[in-house]
Chain A
């Protein structure tokens, strides 16, 4: 029994122990299910616009990068408890509790629009056509917050027949394919990603119902860390890496606000 116990304890420590390398290790918290910003690529490695930008930032600063996939529902606790040093994963800032009185937030690096994704045959051409329809949305996203909150988009949300919440967009999209719902309310990059994969039967309405900004979120006290990351990020903007990666991941480059300055 004692032997078993000690083996168990050793296993616990080995499995739970951190791989401690020399120098500062920057722990990047990502939602690993959020292409094209952060996801598992075909080789089973973490990739995406945000992941690659962060890797380059760490290269400049001489840091080791540790990518930590997090549970999006508990991201703020994981940041507070120092499991991660930042949330950097297509994160909508200045909304949904990610505010400056609680966190240190970087200069937003991307604009983003909330779009309506639908498919041919539904006859949906404008917001007016959505009246009485069933629209899917991922729980906890800013699209859901906008449609159910008290801003302008809430008026649009009120015209829907049903706003159907989903655990993730993968399932919502399958329901759209199968005709169980008429449209999906979703971030523009995610919608574009689906259209790229599934082709011309799917399209977005021209108008967006809300817009938001993506930024990097740090603990309140980590203003110095934020400034260092911002400094390196701006170098990457100036040398063109920022735009090149945007094109590599098929982002709408008009959203990459830092490039215009």
Chain B
């Protein structure tokens, strides 16, 4: 297989790689915020349950979580949808996993806000919801952006985990070519693709940071 042939074949999987990437972000970013708020809840039970969720999702490999989501329901209840709809299983596993990481980043950001701001908002007559949405959250977003960028870049590379479920994204195709053609070239190509995608992510995120740097 020629070099161009390998690149072309692997780029057929890029759409799927991007689907995993964007759908995971779409679902895990809001879910992370919900988890962060539950984690900071005054209700002890809610707090404890969320803590367990975060510790399990962060404490076990994503590869195992993928297998658990796709095949767990089948073994327990004979439910085959997640085996047949691989992308659905992948997005559920990725979104749950990344939400746990994002939750802790959100929490760090929210807890870093000085109490004085809540007091000032209260004096000015803001409700709790208004205080959070209009005063706290915009500042949090600004503060946590660099940590979020880290996670997003990791996510680009983690999409390769989908090979565990034999989902034919770019890296899985690369692996097939590598072993069929006895060549390591596909891995070099995969590295190039990931680097390219992450350059775009890094650029976009730095533009976001600049746009949000309105007090400097």
Contact = CB atoms under 8 A, between A and B. Distances in A.
Interface of A: 4-5, 8, 11-12, 15-16, 18, 32-35, 39-44, 68-71, 74, 77-78, 80-83, 168-170, 173-174, 194, 197-198
B115 interface: no
Contacts of B80: 81-83
Interface in B72-109: 74-75, 80, 83-88, 91
Nearest to B177: A40
Given A12-B87, A16-B87, A44-B177, 7 more contacts: A4-B26, A8-B26, A33-B179, A39-B180, A71-B164, A77-B71, A82-B84
Contacts of B184: 170, 174
A69 B71 contact: no
A139 B26 CA distance: 37
Contacts of A83: 80, 83-84
Contacts of A40: 1, 9, 173, 176-177, 180-181
A44 B166 CA distance: 17
B152 interface: no
A42 B26 contact: no
B83 A81 contact: yes
A39 B176 contact: yes
For the complex, would chain B's binding face be called helix, strand, loop or mixed by DSSP majority?
helix
B8 A44 contact: yes
Given A82-B84, A197-B182, A15 B19 contact: yes
Contacts of A173: 182
Interface residues on B, range: 35 or more
Given A15-B19, A174-B184, A169 B5 contact: no
B84 A81 contact: yes
B84 A43 contact: no
A49 B22 CA distance: 39
B142 interface: no
Interface in B7-62: 8-9, 12, 15-16, 19, 22-23, 26-27
A32 B186 CA distance: 15
Contacts of B189: none
Interface string B158-172: 000001111010001
Nearest first, the 6 closest Cβ-Cβ pairs linking A and B are A33-B179, A39-B180, A81-B83, A44-B9, A16-B85, A71-B166
Contacts of A8: 22-23, 26-27
Contacts of A4: 26
A13 to B, nearest CB: 9
A35 B183 CA distance: 13
Given A4-B26, A12-B91, A33 B175 contact: yes
B212 interface: no
Nearest to A197: B182
B179 A41 contact: no
A15 B87 contact: yes
Contacts of A32: 176, 180
A82 B62 CA distance: 24
B9 to A, nearest CB: 4
A50 to B, nearest CB: 13
Contacts of B84: 18, 81-83
A212 B90 CA distance: 36
